Amino acid sequence: MPNNPTTHLPYWLAASYLPDVGPRKFTRWLTHFDNIQALFTASTDALTQAGISAQHIQAIRAPDWQSVERDLTWAQTAQQHILTLQDASYPSLLKEISDPPLVLYVQGNVDALHHRQLAIVGSRRATPAGLNHAETFAATLVQAGFVITSGLALGIDAASHRGALQAKGLTIAVMGTGLQHIYPSAHRGLVAAILNQQGAIVSEFPLTMSPRPENFPRRNRVIAGLSMGVLVVEAALKSGSLVTARHALEQGREVFAIPGSIHNFFAHGCHHLLKQGAKLVETATDILEELNNYPSQPLSTNPPSAVQFTMALPAAQTIPPIDKMSLSSQVPAQLSKNNRALLEQIDYDVTPIDAIILRSGLTASEVSSMLLTLELAGYIQSCAGGYMRCC
């Protein structure tokens, strides 16, 4: 046990390290005691009467104080915070969900957690149009007074963070790893930009936690729990974005989705949400109109009204392992590598040839030749203003 703890923080951290004990189970135990310190110092009989198993009692008797001390040392540095479920500074909306994290590790501007937040999520392998939508919506929404919350993943998440930053707004990255293990590592620069612009990175996981598949669905519930609503930009049917949307619905938050082409594999998840009753979004105004009854900031402790539908996830909804998270865009394998790469730069909407050249980094003559090949093979079609992808 730490020497002379002045608050209950060490005990909350110790609770977070108990093996096979989630927030819901621990808070149920806590109802039997006056406070968390009383739980950790209770007799075996009292713990047994609270419904705690012998295995868990043994863990309570020997907490991981070494990790607790490490965390306490980390939190002594400026702009590094640990919030517990009992703290007044714990985000009020997140506290209202059925299984709020026992502790939150926060680096950066902790006050950002108390501003109005809108989550933007979507595919890791987004189309150029999807990335543009994410950036544009994020920029418009921060200008309307929202903080943009997302998961720091490749694709739509990163574009959402960047859109908020480009508009000089605040953005929060909720991580599925510990704060000392940035994932993906390519986003270290993005994390620095978020912190430099008074945003924050947040995690419920121990500081050194590495990426684990089971942690990302848990991360998604926090993204939804912090936010008044969730906007899904692009998502496949089997994706973490739909899990985030489900959490939002269960938590009484609004769910928004942007429609796309029926040929776009990464629009199918959005279409599923829309069929289930999510609000169709064409402009940021559609979101603002839905949330316009809420005060600017700070947030009310009352959650937004729930979307009036019951969302059924597609059959066999699973989260793939980390190394398989990038879904195939179903580009036919017989295409050459260069032609496949160029096809990825063409949207299911009209894409000007200048945009295709800019995105590809190729010369105009190279692009023209490859476009002809793709068109003859039936993957794209020419139209007024450029080209459209067909598959």
In this predicted structure, what is the pLDDT of residue 236?
A: 87
The reported pLDDT for the residue numbered 137 is 97
Inter-axis angle of helices 364-376 and 353-360, nearest 10: 110
Residues 336, 369: contact at Cβ < 8 Å? Answer: no
Residues facing residue 203 across a β-bridge: 105
The residues near 79 (Cβ < 8 Å, ≥ 6 apart) are 107, 108, 109, 195
- Residues 121, 256: contact at Cβ < 8 Å? no
Q: What is the pLDDT of residue 302?
A: 37
Rounded CA-CA distance 386/354 in Å is 9
- Are 151 and 158 in contact, with CB atoms under 8 Å apart? no
Would you state the structure tokens that stand for residue 373, as one six-digit string?
A: 């090949």
Low-confidence ranges of the chain (pLDDT < 50): 1-6, 295-310, 313, 315-330
Residue 275 to residue 311: CA distance in whole angstroms: 9
- DSSP for 233-258? -S--SSSHHHHHHHHHHHTT-EEEE-
Q: Taking the alpha carbons of 52, 55, 57, 62 in that order, is the dihedral positive or negative?
A: negative
211 within 8 A of 154, measured Cβ to Cβ: no
Q: What is the pLDDT of residues 374-391, one digit of tens each?
A: 888 888 888 778 888 876
Helix axes 188-196, 156-166, angle to 10 degrees: 30
The encoded tokens of residue 58 equal: 């043994």
Q: Tell me whether residue 55 is exposed, middle or buried, using C-beta atoms within 10 angstroms of its C-beta: 0 to 12, 13 to 18, 19 or more.
A: exposed
Instruction: Give dist(CA 339, CA 343) in Å, integer.
Output: 6
